């Protein structure tokens, strides 16, 4: 598929693989971690992936793993990459640990989408995958979601780097110059009269 590096709005499809891992804890019997993230494809403007939150569905059947409490799940989603957020992507890339942010949210069974298979309900849904630390700050402030960071590397990092180079133009710092003629005039008149009035 043809790349759309120069497009101002790109939807980058990814598949997130989750592990449901058993834990020895008095209040919970499992936790959710990210096993892998696989780039799928990118499109201009709109795509075929679901909008909004996404249910986690079993990746495969492995009865031996289920007996041990371990299972793999997957969710396909799009990362919304927009030129208006190029500054945020630039900050992400320039940080010490460029990251892909994955947002999970606890959910009740009745909140799940209609396409979830009966008997496969899970207690977590995928809300968003983002490359913007500014956007993720809103989720962190909320405090109800689980945010997982993955290293931003490989082809996706190359794409984001080129996207930033194309659309992010940092403002050039212009040093303020003092008006020499005005300063000389003030010295001739004995300085700024407003300051004299304030302190004398």
Alpha-carbon gap, residue 200 to 191, rounded angstroms: 13
- What tokens were used for 147? 């945010």
pTM comes to 0.74
- 196 in a domain, yes or no? no
Q: Which residue in the block uniquely carries the two structure tokens 């606890």?
A: 106
How many structural domains does the chain have? Answer: 1
Distances (CA, A) of 115 to 3, 102, 129, 152: 31, 22, 20, 30
Q: Using the 8-state DSSP alphabet, how is residue 50 labeled? A: P
Read off the pLDDT of residues 65-114 as tens digits, 9 standing for 90 and up: 455 556 899 999 999 999 999 999 999 999 999 999 999 999 865 545 54
Domain assignment of residue 76, given as a range? 9-167
- 29 in a domain, yes or no? yes
pLDDT level of residue 62 (50, 70, 90 thresholds): low
pLDDT level of residue 186 (50, 70, 90 thresholds): low
- 177 in a domain, yes or no? no
**What φ, ψ does residue 106 adopt, rounded to 5°?**
-60, 145
- 47 in a domain, yes or no? yes
CB atoms within 10 A of CB 196: 10
- 2 in a domain, yes or no? no
Across 16-25, 44-53, 56-65, the highest mean pLDDT is recorded for 16-25
- 32 in a domain, yes or no? yes
193 pLDDT above the threshold of 70: no
Q: Which residue has the higher pLDDT, 180 or 167?
A: 167
150 pLDDT above the threshold of 90: yes
Alpha-carbon gap, residue 8 to 45, rounded angstroms: 9
Read off the pLDDT of residues 18-27 as tens digits, 9 standing for 90 and up: 998 888 878 8
- 137 in a domain, yes or no? yes
Candidate from 1-5, 32-36, 120-124 with smallest mean pLDDT: 1-5
């Amino acid at each position: 598929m043809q790349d759309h590096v120069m497009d101002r709005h790109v939807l980058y499809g990814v598949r997130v693989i989750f592990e449901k891992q058993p834990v020895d804890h008095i209040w919970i019997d499992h936790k959710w971690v990210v096993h892998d993230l696989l780039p799928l494809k990118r499109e201009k403007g709109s795509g075929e992936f679901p909008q909004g939150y996404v249910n986690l569905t079993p990746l495969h059947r492995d009865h031996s793993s289920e007996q041990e409490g371990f299972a793999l799940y997957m969710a396909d989603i799009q990362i919304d990459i927009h030129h208006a957020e190029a500054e945020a992507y630039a900050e992400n890339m320039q940080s010490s640990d460029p990251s892909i942010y994955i947002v999970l949210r606890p959910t009740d069974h009745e909140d799940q989408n209609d396409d979830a298979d009966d008997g496969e309900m899970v207690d977590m849904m995928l809300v968003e995958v983002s490359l913007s630390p500014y956007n993720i700050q809103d989720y962190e402030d909320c405090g109800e979601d689980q945010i997982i960071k993955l290293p931003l590397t490989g082809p996706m990092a190359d794409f984001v780097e080129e996207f930033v180079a194309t659309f992010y133009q940092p403002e050039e710092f212009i040093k303020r110059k003092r008006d020499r003629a005005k300063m000389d005039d003030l010295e001739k008149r004995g300085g700024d009269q407003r300051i004299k009035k304030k302190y004398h």
